[in-house]
Amino acid sequence: MQRDSALSGLPQQRSLSSVIPSAVTRTSRLDPLSLSVVSMDNRQAVIIDIGAILTKVGYAGEFVPRAIIRTELLDDRTGEAVKVLDDTLSEQELYYRLVKFFRELFFRYMLTAAKDRRIVIVESVLTRTALRNAMARVLFEAFDAPSILFAPSHLLATFPFGVSNALIVDVGYSEATIVPVLEGVTLLYQLETSAVGAKYLEQRVYELLRKYGKVLTYLGVERSLTDNDDLLLKKEYTLEDIVVRFCFATKMDRGRIIQASGYDPEQEIPNPPCDVRLPFGEEMLIVPGLVREWAAEAIFEENDDIKSLPQLVLDTVYRCPIDARKKLLESIILVGGTTRMKGFYARLRDEILRSLTTSDYANKLGNIKSVKFYRLPNTSIELYASWIGGSMFGALEVLQYHSLTREDWLAQRKVPDWITSVYENNQDSTRSR
């Protein structure tokens, strides 16, 4: 099991919650410090997964987040929604936004104080060091959190499925990241990434709408989109709405015909999907069926500028140990809201199988004939698989031994990166021998 491999080698210690109560019953007075530790350890940890677009928050041991909200705040000066995680912000501006955002998470959605709970932050292994330090500074210094665990999201995604070997295909907002996990170990050197994320899809939808989209005015007249419509398209999350609700991944054979046509609407492709209409201010936006069908081709098309998702998957697998390649391609876990697009699983499987027969991969991976996925039916687990993994780990007694305490932070005022943590753990293991 994943948890067994992740926790192997740890000393067998009891948690504070199992030690202190018995000690209290043997004393004639109740020590306030002891009571506070007991109270904290008996309370569920808070699990927070902050994404570029959505944030998932809830308590350890729960199966779904308490809330899934946008990672945004209302700007005090303009009154408009602004992103919390903005690479253009200064260190102080980021600090103030995180303080305001965490205050909303704890007091509006979780109805608890951070100083009474252990905290698990679910993060990508590619998270910027400056952002990790900023979050730690906010939680430790502004909210007096007792401890924080920064847990790798791709490893946590394997926990709900109870597996220790998997290929994590994370299609996020800004990029797609492929991370292999073998025997509970994240293989960072085999990691592959590309810009084929939700943002890339939204840009493709925008380009197609400017060419083929129409606006139905209140007079019943259709017109083409103009530059004046751009603000409404991007401000009201219209592009995101189209991608999430109406776009789909068509069958591979049909997708190949579309790509071969050069995305030419004059080429007759049988059974085109129907158009849809969306409110667009005081008018209606007409989204042609070809936009709904063609947008997803951005993820699967092959070009010299950017790797497609199937290429990323196969390149990652090829860089892994030869005896693990077949196992990884039969243990794929999809993560990210984009992967919930209708037809995505089937299209990705077919594209990978087709690529295995091409000259680029036939000699390298030609002996692999099957591609399989881990799925939980009738759930939206792709949206919060990593959060569930954090919820599972946060409910374990060993959480306190893996966490960064407030005292450690005040002594160094920085969060160790993953390479440093792995090195120090190996050094500790060597000394213990």
Nearest Cα residue to 316 out of 170, 212, 127: 170
Residues 389, 407 within the same domain: yes
> CA nearest 124: which of 98, 150, 102, 148?
150
Write down the pLDDT at residue 429.
55
pLDDT number for residue 332: 98
Q: Is residue 336 part of a domain?
A: yes
CA angle 337, 298, 234 (to 5 degrees): 65
- The residue written with tokens 């991007």 in the block is 234
Query: What pLDDT, on the 0 to 100 scale, is given for residue 218?
Result: 87
> 214-216 and 185-186: which strand pairing?
unpaired
**Same domain as 286, residue 332:** no
Tens-digit pLDDT string for the chain (433 aa)? 444 433 333 333 333 333 223 333 333 333 433 333 444 567 899 999 999 999 999 999 999 999 999 999 988 888 888 899 988 889 999 999 999 999 999 999 999 999 999 999 999 988 999 999 999 999 999 999 999 999 999 999 999 999 999 999 999 999 999 999 999 999 999 999 999 999 999 999 999 999 999 999 988 899 999 888 888 887 778 999 999 999 999 999 999 999 998 888 888 788 889 999 999 988 999 999 999 999 999 999 988 889 999 999 999 999 999 999 999 999 999 999 999 999 999 999 999 999 999 888 888 887 888 999 999 888 899 999 999 999 999 999 899 888 999 999 999 899 987 656 555 555 655 555 5
DSSP string, 25-74: HTSSS--HHHHHHHHHHTSPPEEEEE-SSEEEEEETT-SS-SEEEESEEE
Same domain, 258 and 401: no
Compute and round to an integer the Cα radius of gyration of the chain.
24
What local confidence, expressed as pLDDT, does residue 3 receive? 40
- Looking at the fold, whether 254 and 352 belong to one and the same domain comes out as no
Q: Contact, 172 vs 197, CB < 8 A?
A: yes
146 is written with which tokens?
């007792």
Domain extent for 285: 198-299
pLDDT of residue 35: 34
| Structural domain contains residue 379 | no
Q: Are residues 136 and 189 in the same domain?
A: no
pTM: 0.85
> Does 260 lie in the same domain as 339?
no
Count the neighbouring beta carbons within 10 Å of the beta carbon of residue 377: 5
pLDDT value of residue 19: 29
Q: How many CA atoms lie within 13 A of 186 on its CB side?
A: 22
Asked if residue 25 and residue 149 are part of one domain, the reply reads: yes
What span, in angstroms and rounded, lies between the C-alpha atoms of 167 and 313? Answer: 8
State whether 54 and 188 are in the same domain: no
- In a shared domain, residues 32 and 127: yes
- Shared domain for 27 and 134, answered yes or no, is yes
Taking phi over 0 as left and psi of -120 to 50 as alpha, with beta for the rest, 44 belongs to: beta
**For the chain, what is the domain count?**
3
Task: Look at residue 16 and tell me if it is in a domain.
Answer: yes
How far, in Å, CA of 271 to CA of 256, rounded? 15
